[in-house]
Structure 1
Amino acid sequence: MRKNRLLLIAIGLFFLQILFYYSLRYFPATVESLYSTGIYPYIAKAMRFGLGWIPFSFGDIVYSVSIIMIIRWLWLSNRDLISLSRKRYTQLFLSLNIIIALFHCMWGFNYYREPLHEVLDLDNEYTTEELETVVRQLIYTSNKLHDQLQPVDSLPVVFERSQSELFELAPQGFENIDHIYPALSYGNASIKKSLLTIPLSYMGYSGYLNPLTGEAHTNAWINNYKTPVLTLHEMSHQLGFAKENEANFIAIIAGMNHDDLYFQYSASIFALRYCINDLYRRDLEKYENIRPLIKDGIFKNYKELRDFWKQYEGVIEDVSQVTYNAYLKANNQPGGMETYSYVVALLVNYYK
């Protein structure tokens, strides 16, 4: 009877947690003031200070050990399914309660903070004409940066720096924009190459944040135009901007305000890709008129990234992307991975 009661309590706590987190989406101002700009910055800085000095990913070690323990747990559970089932289910729900609570306390509450356009006092709607204006601005900036980094219009800009060098340079981008919003002040860095790059590549991921250790990770095999803005994207997650679209926007702003031309170019053509694709969906004629203005070398940079991912396409990536899309929707991102329009809305209203 006591074992049944413990199992019921564990299950009840699990569903109470889920209900509580779901209700938070109706109180974004409270989450913003108490957690995202209140408690969380101290948690994040403490984690970066405590683990940033370690040259390898502590979080990846934790992930690897956890996977081994889960496999062991499943194997032991199947040895005597009838007699051990209640005990194992109790362990399962107690573990889920602890993991979910830790995830939210260490980082996950940021999914329920105020939308970035409200925080920055920006509109979240835009016209096709406003979009076209910003696209032209981005084309001008991207072409100019391409000229400075690659004298041949038809060739891509070559990114030769190692990821380690980029990690050292990246925080400067946030130093140049912390006047926009105090929460963009970065501090100690904790950016690392993923030890799990092989599975990461086949799953189709460029990088990730470990919410329990505060370490930002990049796919160690990516070395193209995406790498600088990818690093800034994961750092944006460290600052508490959990939603993918908002982290993309902040990475673009930090990159375009960076002193280094390669960071500027990376962020500029990343933003251009979002905006030109949105213009294509909205007005094909305008898109076809503007597209020839973009240097061929910029499209070559885009192709390098596509070619990198093409070699890892397959069932693993498909399943991984579907799973991650469901995860985003469950964490207050109704659009899942299809969040292009909100990124473009932020860019258009920021630059118009």
Structure 2
Amino acid sequence: MIFHGLGCIFQQFHGMGPAFLNFRPMRYPSAPVRALTLTGICILIHIYARNPERVESGYSTQFYPLFGSFLRQITGFVPFSIGDIFYGMLIGWLLYALMKKLFRLFRKKEKETSEARWYWIWLSRLAIVYIVFNLFWGVNYNRTGAAGQLGITVRDYTVEELKDLNCVLLDSMNHNRAAMAVSGNRKKSKKEMFEHVSVTYQALQKKYPFLGYQNPSIKSSFWGWFGNYAGFTGYYNPFTGEAQVNTTVPDFLQPFIACHEVAHQLGYARENEANFVGFLAARASPDPSFRYSAYLDLFTYANRSLYALDSIAAELVRRDMSRDVKDDIAEWVRFSRKHRNPIEPLIRWAYGKYLEGNQQPKGIFSYDEVTAYLVAYRKKFGSL
């Protein structure tokens, strides 16, 4: 029956003669139509993301947890950073495309029609990046987030509340630094540290089920050396689902950095939330080096906030830091000064503008806003 049917079809084609051979292939939409269509999709995504409750109940708690876990499952088994390679190739290609465009303009070989088409093509490319970025992760910037899940009210705090928070963080920081010395403070390998991050989130999941972490994908960044000069200690790659950690920074910083980036993996896009969730995870760790890393980082934010309001009080709190803590901070300062350069402020400014464009009006200082989360959490649950 199958061969008979095919024979009939061939006979029909034969009868059609040359007319059949003159068919035209389906044409793709023109560059302007394609660009405008993609721009329309971008607008629809933006409209959807304007409602935080809708994002929280739909994208952030229904779609993204499954998709993010799937993405990590694909990249997690690869021992190196796929995202770093992707970004390296992307930057190389962008530089090539820019140089090619400038060369053609300089040689005046660019026709007016082809130049207009070039702009339409690039509008399409930017729209595709926007669409993929938001579908893969970026819509999470608009969720109600951890505060709603924990039932805490994040608001402005008083100077007295901030002083009290500084003292609490200081005591925990000193205590865990001393515990590290007692336990021998054996340095973990990168693999051991990344595996322990999963342990901390598993411990946290027992208390907060919505913070469960499956299919780990935590990588040491190839670009750590560049990050030291650019001012970043880690980043989350939304296109590959990988948490990238700069493992060239001082060891005592790395556990909290890793916990922070995993918080991004779980859909907590805003930096203050990632700091807060990362703190909850590191605090749940049985390892004092993880707890110390978190308390040290959060103390620096809280103390900086206090210094802006009452510099004398902030200085008095710092005097009570243990000798080991002071030595660690001195090492941190030396490391930062060693890599200081005129490009870093420009990169920090650009990143601050990116944050401002993604629901974080304080820009680079959004990290410091974790202090308000700590005050609110302590007010409800009584301890840190």
Given the two structures, how large is their TM-score scaled by the length of structure 2?
A: 0.83
Which residue, 307, 310, 314 being the options, matches 2:337? 310
Give % identity.
31
| Preserved contact between residue 159 and residue 223 of structure 1 (Cα < 8 Å) | no
Give CA deviations for 1:59-84 in whole Å, capped at 9, x if unaligned.
Answer: 12221222222223223334233353
Name structure 2 gaps, 5 residues minimum: 1-28, 380-384
Contact 2:301 2:371 in 1 (8 A): yes
Question: One-letter code of the match for 2:90?
Answer: S
Check the 8 A contact 1:258/1:264 in 2, yes or no.
yes
Query: Is structure 2 residue 58 aligned with structure 1 residue 34?
Result: yes
Distance 1:330 1:229, change over 3 A: same
Q: Secondary structure at the match of 1:333?
A: coil
**Once the 2 structures are TM-superposed, how far is the Cα of residue 137 of structure 1 from its aligned partner?**
1.8
Counterpart mapping for 1:62-141 below 5 A: 62-77=86-101, 78-79=103-104, 80-82=109-111, 84-125=114-155, 126-141=157-172
Alignment of 1:144 onto 2:175: yes
Matches of residues 217-256 of structure 1 in structure 2 within 5 Å? 217-256=244-283
The one-letter amino acid paired with 2:111 is I
Aligned-partner Cα distance in 2 for 1:129–1:280: 13
- Deviation string 1:148-196 (CA, Å, 9 cap, x unpaired) is 2237xxxxx9673233321111111111212443331001210111122
Question: Is the Cα contact below 8 Å between 2:234 and 2:245 reproduced in 1?
Answer: yes
| RMSD, aligned α-carbons | 2.3
Q: CA deviation at 1:26?
A: 3.5
Residue 88 of structure 1, CA deviation: 1.8
Deviation at 1:239, TM superposition (A): 0.4
Question: Per the alignment, in what secondary structure is the counterpart of residue 251 of structure 2?
Answer: coil
State the one-letter code of the partner of 2:377.
Y
One-letter identity of the residue aligned with 2:53: A
Q: Residue in 1 aligned with 2:191?
A: 164
Distance in 2, matches of 1:103 and 1:185, equals 23
Query: CA, structure 1 residues 310+290, in 2 after alignment: closer, same or farther (shift >3 Å)?
Result: closer
Query: Larger Cα Rg: Structure 1 or Structure 2?
Result: 2
CA distance in 1, matches of 2:247, 2:303: 28
Deviates more, 1:167-176 or 1:135-144: 135-144
Q: Secondary structure at the match of 1:54?
A: coil
**DSSP 3-state at the match of 1:216:** strand
Query: What residue in structure 1 maps to residue 25 of structure 2?
Result: none
2:369 to 307, 324, 342: 342
Question: What is aligned with 1:331?
Answer: 358
Deviation string 1:219-278 (CA, Å, 9 cap, x unpaired) is 131232211000101111000001111101111111111011100111111122222222
Residue pair 2:230, 2:343 contacting (<8 A) in 1 also: yes
Deviates more, 1:87-96 or 1:42-51: 87-96
Aligned to 1:263: 290
Residue 72 of structure 2 is aligned to residue 44 of structure 1: no
- Deviation of 1:320 after TM superposition, in Å, equals 1.0
Unaligned stretches of 5+ residues in structure 1: 152-156
Residue in 2 that maps onto 1:154: none
CA contact (8 A) 1:216 1:238 kept: yes
Amino acid at match of 2:311: L
Q: Is this contact kept in 2: 1:183–1:239, CA < 8 A?
A: no
For residues 176-187 of structure 1, the aligned pairs below 5 Å read 176-187=203-214
* Paired residue type of 1:131: L
Tell me how far apart the structure 1 counterparts of residues 128 and 197 of structure 2 sit (CA, whole Å). 34
Contact 1:158 1:224 in 2 (8 A): no
Once the two structures are TM-superposed, the CA of residue 341 in structure 1 deviates from its matched residue by 5.0
Q: 1:328 to 1:87 in 2, by over 3 A?
A: same
Cα distance, 1:306 vs. partner?
2.3
Higher relative contact order (CA 8 A, sep 6+): 1
Asked if 2 retains the 8 angstrom alpha-carbon contact of 1:190 and 1:216, the reply is: yes
Conservation of the 8 A alpha-carbon contact between 2:234 and 2:244: yes
Going from structure 1 to structure 2, the CA distance change for 1:279 and 1:239 (only over 3 Å counts) comes to same
- Bigger drift between 20-29 and 243-252 goes to 20-29
Looking at structure 2, the residues matched to 344 and 124 of structure 1 have their Cα atoms a distance apart, in angstroms, of: 10
Q: 1:309 to 1:22 in 2, by over 3 A?
A: farther
What SS does the aligned partner of 2:243 have? strand
User: Residue 221 and residue 288 in structure 1: after superposition, are their counterparts in 2 closer, same or farther (change >3 A)?
Assistant: closer
Distance 1:21 1:121 in 2: 28
Residues 1:298 and 2:328 aligned together: no
CA-to-aligned-CA distance 1:283-333 (integer Å, 9 cap, x gap): 334334433222132122122222222222223212211111111111111
